[in-house]
Amino acid sequence: MIAQGTPVMRFTYASGTRPLDGYTIKRGIGVGGFGEVYFAISDAGKEVAAKRIQRNLDIELRGVRQCLNMKHVNLISLWDIRVTDFGETWVVMEYVPGYSLRDLLARHPQGLPEDQVRMWITSIAAGVSYLHARGIVHRDLKPGNVFFDSDSNVVKIGDYGLSKFISGSRRSGNTESVGTFHYMAPEIGRGSYGKEIDIYAIGVMFYELLCGHPPFDGETTHEIIMKHLTAEPDVTRIPLPYRRVIERCLRKDPAERYSDVSHMLMDTPWRPQSGEAVLAAAPWPDIEIASGAASPHVPTQWQPDPVAPVVAEVAGPVVIDERAAAEAEDAVERIRLRLDQGWQNHGGPSNVPQLAVPIHQDSLRASSIPREPIARFVYHSAHGLADWWHSLDWTTPWKVVLLVVIAITIIGNSTWILPSVLALGVLYAIYFGIRALIVKDAPAMPRTVYRPRATEEDFQHMVAQRLAARDWTEQAAEIAGSLLKGAIACAAFCALFLSIRGFSLGPEVVAVGVWAAIASTLMTWTVLLVTRLWSWQPGEWLFRMLVMGAAGAGLGLALYLAITRLVPEPQVFAVDRWSIGRSLNWASPQLASRFIVAVGVLFGVLRWWRLADPWRRNRIVIWRVAFGIGLAIGAGYAFGFESWLPWVFGVSIVATQLAAPWYYLEVKKMRYQHKLAARRGAL
């Protein structure tokens, strides 16, 4: 034969030969595990990829025959299987110009931007879902088997010739080890598997697309396999919305993974209406230069690039729209930039639409970047400062000297720095609280949509949905009822306290008692109302603490104003323990600020929403109450408010628990019913 043996890229057939009747070989594309793949053109002019099957003939052919009639935009089409007079077997299939996901990942060691990840994953999921729906498991999903067709801008899955029928009775059909270790589910070693192994492989690729490296890696094959079997994936670098999905895909027990690709998609933050909708209309981020509106369900369509309309305006002889001209320049510049970066067009691998790496880092960081503008500014400044510090070309001793100088400067000026920082903090907490109540940021966590094996959280979710579906009058009644309960509890406890301490009922004592009752009621109400907004779902605790802190600061001011109006000179109310103020002047803003800070801190530090959690195990959780009161005693002592702060807070903590809605029993009941139903189903 021609040119055998010499080049590193060893191809049996040279360009121009016709080993397969009707097709002329043009060039070799690559050598895979199962044989050489060539680019060939039929006598009529059809461009195809022709694969010469060399090894594992049986496995390969059995799979390919099953898949000959699969038609899906995200699958590489198989045209035919041909056996030549010389006994060679050829698989003729669709030619996909472009590059594989492996090539793309090699060029992005830090992972890809999220919109690209979305395109890859939804496309792969669509193709795999099609295969599964026809009873076929791919079995060898990996980046080297997924391609981007740069002619039609579509992701295509190849090499599903390895696939086999899922047989209901005989799940452990073929026990030969085929596939790539990084993407192989742990149960493959046992030789018994179903379509869950594809879900696992998608999970691995999902992880790798976001991070740039697979979740389980090692020096040796053995090490990788051991990690698949035993290690938990490190998901700390995965942006929050995808963590759960990936973790679930990577479960060791196939039964714990998603049972279906569409279920997996529904758990992603891409928030489909239904699984079908996603699969039918793979959302199409414009990974090419075009930034215009993407056409969602016609992925093959070329998106007209932004130069077109704008340029038309510019070219007109009439008036040149300056802005349009600038946009046109921009567009041209973008194309140029892309081409400059990626023009080593030849060779496939390099023909990759380049997206600058920083974009990706931003998107990775995105989940931890605060959304509030001031916090974001501080965050970015801090990062800038940190970057500068790391880039500083000084030796360590000099850096230490600099740090010491800074520290001395700060300590020397602590008299004014500390109070101003504190004041700024309080102001910011108040601002943040108000903003949080007015501005609704998008939720950080994707809501659970589907889970076949329900957990406690799922039952809570179900109960919550039922409760949320109630009539508004019922909901209002629930809120009003709990507020009333809270008020009554506070009043009763305050009366109890007064009687226990055996005050003689002078007018001043009554006034203090009334004030305490009002104070604890106000606290309880604040907690009940604010946590009501957050009840039913978990949320970000830092955000909640800040909101509660701001609410507490406001309450502190109200309490201070109330006590100064009610009691002219209530000396017992504050002890000047730390001689913060030179004299205890009741009208002084210094005392007011002490009230604000004390109540604000207690509100911020104690996780009140836990106290009001509708899912708490008992209506009154003893240790939470004890912890809260302990904290209040400490704070009372620290702020010189030990005469009233602990018991006002103690009262409101207990009252909150008594008054807050409690639905643990409903969750328990529902779980029990489900268990019964499942058992009945099993019988």
Partner 1 sequence: MFSTSQSTPSPVAQTSWMMWVDGVGGFLVCTGTSVWLGRAVVEPRVDIPLAGDVQRRHAKLIWQAGRHALLAASPVKVNGRQVQELATLEHGDIVRLSDAVTLCYRQPPLLGPTALLDLICPARTVPWSDGIVLMGETLILGQSPAAHIVCSELSKALILVHRSGELFVQSARWVEIDGKRGRGLQQVAMGSRLVCEDVAITLEPRGI
Q: Which of residues 137-196 bind partner 1 (CB under 8 A)?
A: 150-153
Residue 37 near residue 50, CB atoms below 8 Å: yes
Q: Which of residues 474-503 bind partner 1 (CB under 8 A)?
A: none
- Of 64, 121, 125, 328, which one interacts with partner 1 (CB under 8 A)? 328
Say how far apart CA 540 and CA 359 lie, in whole Å: 25
Sheet holding 154-157, edge to edge: 98-100, 146-149, 154-157
Asked if residue 441 binds partner 1 (CB under 8 A), the reply is no
Say how far apart CA 184 and CA 264 lie, in whole Å: 18
Asked if residue 340 binds partner 1 (CB under 8 A), the reply is yes
- Of 293, 339, 427, 480, which one interacts with partner 1 (CB under 8 A)? 339
Say how far apart CA 179 and CA 127 lie, in whole Å: 18
* Nearest approach, Cβ of residue 88 and partner 1 (Å): 11
- Of 41, 467, 511, 575, which one interacts with partner 1 (CB under 8 A)? 41
Shorter beta-carbon distance to partner 1: residue 18 or 271: 18
Residue 348 near residue 99, CB atoms below 8 Å: yes
Structure tokens at 619: 């209506």
Residue 641 near residue 574, CB atoms below 8 Å: yes
Asked if residue 346 binds partner 1 (CB under 8 A), the reply is yes
* Nearest approach, Cβ of residue 325 and partner 1 (Å): 8
User: Between 1 and 20, how does the x/- string for binding to partner 1 read (CB under 8 A)?
Assistant: xxx--xxxx-x-xxxxxxx-
DSSP at 649:
H
Asked if residue 345 binds partner 1 (CB under 8 A), the reply is yes
Shorter beta-carbon distance to partner 1: residue 16 or 191: 16
Say how far apart CA 33 and CA 241 lie, in whole Å: 36
Asked if residue 311 binds partner 1 (CB under 8 A), the reply is yes
Question: Phi-psi category of 159—alpha, beta or left, where left has phi over 0 and alpha has psi -120 to 50?
Answer: left
Shorter beta-carbon distance to partner 1: residue 296 or 589: 296
CA distances from 654 to 520, 524, 527 (A): 10, 9, 12
Asked if residue 135 binds partner 1 (CB under 8 A), the reply is no
Q: What are phi and psi of 621, to 5 degrees?
A: -95, 105
Asked if residue 348 binds partner 1 (CB under 8 A), the reply is yes
Q: How many residues bind partner 1 (CB under 8 A)?
A: 58
Asked if residue 315 binds partner 1 (CB under 8 A), the reply is yes
Residue 629 near residue 658, CB atoms below 8 Å: no
Say how far apart CA 164 and CA 64 lie, in whole Å: 9
DSSP at 297:
T
- Of 61, 240, 277, 335, which one interacts with partner 1 (CB under 8 A)? 335
Shorter beta-carbon distance to partner 1: residue 99 or 258: 99
Structure tokens at 215: 């979740």
Say how far apart CA 603 and CA 633 lie, in whole Å: 14
Shorter beta-carbon distance to partner 1: residue 115 or 223: 115
Q: Alpha helices of 352-471 — where are they, by DSSP H? A: 357-366, 373-391, 396-412, 414-438, 456-468
Shorter beta-carbon distance to partner 1: residue 90 or 242: 90
Asked if residue 295 binds partner 1 (CB under 8 A), the reply is no
Sheet holding 89-94, edge to edge: 23-32, 35-42, 47-53, 89-94, 78-83
- Stretch near partner 1 under the rule CB under 8 A, chosen from 198-206, 298-306, 419-427, 614-622: 298-306
Asked if residue 400 binds partner 1 (CB under 8 A), the reply is no
Could you say which of 58, 80, 103, 140 is catalytic? 140
Which residue in the block uniquely carries the two structure tokens 């501080």?
A: 378
Q: What are phi and psi of 639, to 5 degrees?
A: -95, 0
Strand partners, 39: 27, 49
Asked if residue 374 binds partner 1 (CB under 8 A), the reply is no
Asked if residue 217 binds partner 1 (CB under 8 A), the reply is no
Shorter beta-carbon distance to partner 1: residue 85 or 471: 85
Residue 140 annotated to the active site: yes
Q: Which of residues 253-292 bind partner 1 (CB under 8 A)?
A: 288-289
Active site residues: 140
Applying CB under 8 A, which residues contact partner 1?
A: 1-3, 6-9, 11, 13-19, 24, 26-30, 39, 41, 45, 47, 95, 97, 150-153, 288-289, 302, 304-305, 307-308, 310-311, 314-315, 328-329, 332, 335-336, 339-340, 343-351
